[in-house]
Amino acid sequence: MKAKPLMDAFRAKDAAGRLNYRKDGLLTVVAQDVLTGEVLMVAYANREAVEKTLTTGLMHYWSTSRNRLWLKGETSGNYQLVREVFVDCDGDALLAKVQQIGVACHLGRKSCFHRNIREAGGV
Confidence (pLDDT) at 123: 67
Residues 58, 71 contacting (CB under 8 angstroms): yes
108 is a domain residue: no
CATH code of 33's domain: 3.10.20.810
Compute the average pLDDT of residues 97-113.
95
Which pLDDT band, with edges at 50, 70 and 90, does 97 fall under?
very high
Q: How many domains does the chain have?
A: 1
Confidence (pLDDT) at 121: 67
In this predicted model, what pLDDT tens digit does every residue of 62-94 receive, in sequence order?
A: 999 999 999 999 999 999 999 999 999 999 999
Confidence (pLDDT) at 120: 64
111 is a domain residue: no
DSSP 110: S
| Segment (H or E) for 82 | strand 80-87
In this predicted model, what pLDDT tens digit does every residue of 7-33 receive, in sequence order?
A: 999 999 999 999 999 999 999 999 999
123 is a domain residue: no
53 is a domain residue: yes
71 is a domain residue: yes
Per-residue pLDDT at 111 exceeds 80 = yes
Q: Output the pTM of the full model.
A: 0.94
Per-residue pLDDT at 1 exceeds 80 = no
The one-letter amino acid at 111 = S
Which residue did the predictor score with more confidence, 113 or 117?
113
Tell me the CA end-to-end span of the chain in Å, nearest whole number. 34
